[in-house]
Amino acid sequence: MKIIKLTFALILISLFVSCSIFKSKSKKNAEEKMNFSFSKLDKKGLIKNRGNSLAYEFCIPNNKANLNEIKAIDETIAIYKSSKGIIGCGKDEILCIGETGNKDYKKILIEISKKPYVKSINESFFE
């Protein structure tokens, strides 16, 4: 009976460790495309010491399939077909702007960063 309990405990520990490693790796991969880091934000997606959400922008190719994929990740992402943004979208690209506040911002940014057509995700500053 002790061997079964010990084996079960070891399996649980292994699963926990592998999940933690997986999450940190996906966060690291996402940050490679971002010009900011998750450490800048608190658990609610607000900028530490400022209390407001972070706006971010990225470009996607101008086609329905990519637009649908991005909207499926986060339907609140704003789409600007006629603006290049600070990031400088090309003539065949669409500017997308999202915000980190009050949602599962880490999951959203990780999923966006996994898209091969998203080359970078930059903090957006409005003036």
**CA 36 to chain CA centroid, nearest Å:** 11
pLDDT of the residue at 21: 47
- Residue numbers in the chain where pLDDT is lower than 50: 17-22
- In this prediction, residue 95 carries a pLDDT of 97
- Integer Cα distance of 113 and 30 in angstroms: 5
Domain, as residue range, for 88: 2-123
Domain count of the chain?
1
Cβ neighbours for 111, distance < 8 A, ≥ 6 positions apart: 73
The dihedral built from the CA positions of residue 29, 57, 104 and 117, taken in this order, carries a sign that is: negative
10 Å Cβ neighbour count for 85? 17
Structure tokens at 36: 């900011």
